[in-house]
Structure formats: structure tokens, C-alpha cells
Amino acid sequence: MNDVRSIEVIDSHTEGEPTRVVLGGWPEPSGATMVERRDVMRREQDALRRAVVHEPRGHDAVVGALLTAPERADAVAGVVFFNDVGYLGMCGHGLIGVVRTLQHIGRVEPGHVELDTPVGPVSAELARDGAVTIRNVPARLHRADVTVTVPELGEVTGDVAWGGNWFFLTELAGVPLEFSRRAELLRLTTLIRDALDAQGITGSGGEWIDHVELFSAPVRQDADSRNFVLCPGSAYDRSPCGTGTSAKLAVLHAKGHLALGQRWRQEGIVGSLFTGWLEAAGDVLIPHIQGRAFVTGRSTLLFDPQDPFRYGLT
Ligand code: PYC
């Protein structure tokens, strides 16, 4: 990594949540598949992940997206999402940001866009007004009504579901989902995640549940529900979370509360909205998530060999 002197990025936010797309300067990770490329990034290029998302250039809520060569001939690009603590399977708000960024640099036009990720192929429809609808990887309910014992909270019952990442979805009576209470919400969801871990409650194959999602009645009149989502590190999602909304759709459908095609309007903690619905494809459920992203900046990150923090604060 020592010969990297600059990295080109474009910043955007999707319904309030930041995405930093890496366009150049990051050596192309080797590997024939997106999984292999993600593993090379993790093994050999992790300093660049930290440099792009950590302070002093970033902060704990930034999700990075490295564009690579695609796996499939008809895909525009491959994309590996990463954050302050590691790599994400998929990222819903991030994909919406990637599509708008590709439009900004003239690589896509309104219409259909195919992209490859380490957890499978995804696609998006970019509308003329800038709205993006992503077609996510299949979502599923893994375990319903699981009870975990959490310090301060006692027994908390929720569902474990996959929406491109692993989620524990629950409600906490008497805990309002208000932006002004975000520090407390972060603390409580972190306690839940730690308790899930300590009590061996995982996704399939023992995978770590790294996102916790709380729900309440919405504040907006045009929404069905409001959420607060703890991301893998210590940040919360400013958007309603694309993979989290996907997991929610799978849970609602499995419990008989959401028909195929029925719209679900998920409000996030800052009051922004994703609209989601499910489509059946064979025996799997494909979530569609619609939202908006806005490009906020374009910059060149510089690496001064004299700078002790050029690879970020750890
Ligand atoms: O939108 O899927 C999402 C997401 C995951 C983590 C942050 N945002």
C-alpha cells in the first residue's frame, strides 16, 4: 500500500446516510469472483479501507464502495462495500448512492443497471427524476421470536433475518425512536448485539448478527413504521437501511402481514423514507427498495508518506 499517493472519491448521501465511492487510485484487488476480491481487500488492502472511511478523512457512519471489474459480462461494475470496522455483504443505501454516482460521472443513464457484489448479483432502475429502485439479493426470515436476555432490558424477543446482512429485529416498549435520543438507542442496541453474541444467537452457519433494528409506529403520516438501525461498528444508519428494510419485508411476509408486491414505507431515525416490496422469484423472495441519493462532493484523498495518520485513526 506504500506506493498509493492519492485516491479519487465521490461522496453522496442516500436519505441522509453517507456513501463514499472510490473511483481510482486503489489498486484493483485480484481474484476472479467478488468474494475473492473482497477477501484480497480484507487481507492485503485493509489500510486503504481505514484511510477512506476513518477519521481524519471520514467518520464512523461513512460507508465506502470500491468499484471493481464486474463478474458478469452484462454488469456495469462490481462493488465491495466497507465501513469503519470491516466489509458489508450488501448495502442498500450504498447501492443507491453508487448508481447516482455512476450517473454523475456518465457511466450510466436512466434505465436498468446490473452490478455484482460479494453476496450476489443485484440490479437497479434509475428513474429520470433521480429516484433509484434496487433489486436486492434474496431476503429471508431465519428464526422467528427468539428471546435474548439483555442487561438493563431483561428478556427481549425478536426475529433473526437476512436482507444482505444479518439483522435482529425487535421493538422496545417505552423506548421512543427519536433522533434526539440516538445516543441512548445506540447504547441499548449495542447491549442487544453483545447479548446475542454472548448467548450464541447467530445467523445461519453461525454468522454474526452485526445489525440490530428497532421498530415503532411512524412519525410521518405517509410511513408504515419507523426504525433505528445499529450498524456493525458503533454507528447508526441515518437512512431507513436498505438491507434492514429488506429483512423487515421478509419477516412481515413470513408472518402473513405483507403480500407480494404490497408497498411498505419504512421511515428512518432522521425522518427519511424508503419504499420497499417483495417479488417472488422461484422459491426466493427478492426485495425492491426505492429511495433517493444526492452527490455531495468529489475529492482526491492525498497520502503524504510523512503523515503518521495517512491510513486513518484506528
Ligand atoms: O442501507 O443496507 C443499508 C445499510 C447497511 C449499513 C448501512 N446502510
- Our mutation pick for probing the ligand 1 site, out of 88, 95, 290, counting the most ligand atoms within 8 A of Cβ, is 88
Residue appearing with cell numbers 434474496: 138
Average confidence (pLDDT) over 87-104: 97
Give residue 308's pLDDT band: very low, low, confident or very high (50, 70, 90): very high
Distance from residue 83's CA to the centre of ligand 1 (Å): 10
pLDDT on residue 314: 84
Distance of CA 225 to the CA centre of its chain: 19
- Our mutation pick for probing the ligand 1 site, out of 87, 93, 231, counting the most ligand atoms within 8 A of Cβ, is 93
Q: Which DSSP helix (H) or strand (E) runs through 66?
A: strand 63-68
The predicted model scores a pTM of 0.97
Distance from residue 14's CA to the centre of ligand 1 (Å): 10
pLDDT on residue 70: 96
Clarify whether 241 is annotated catalytic: yes
Strands (E), 99-235: 111-117, 120-126, 132-135, 140-150, 154-162, 166-170, 211-216, 225-230
Distance of CA 69 to the CA centre of its chain: 21
Atom nearest to 231 CA in ligand 1 = 6
Pairing of strands 17-24, 63-68: parallel
Tens-digit pLDDT profile for residues 229-254: 999 999 999 999 999 999 999 999 99
Q: Phi and psi dihedrals of 211, rounded to 5?
A: -120, 140
Average confidence (pLDDT) over 197-213: 98
243 CB within 6 A, ligand 1: yes
Tens-digit pLDDT profile for residues 110-150: 999 999 999 999 999 999 999 999 999 999 999 999 999 99
* Catalytic residue (choose from 52, 132, 231, 241): 241
Tens-digit pLDDT profile for residues 43-79: 999 999 999 999 999 999 999 999 999 999 999 999 9
Average confidence (pLDDT) over 167-194: 98
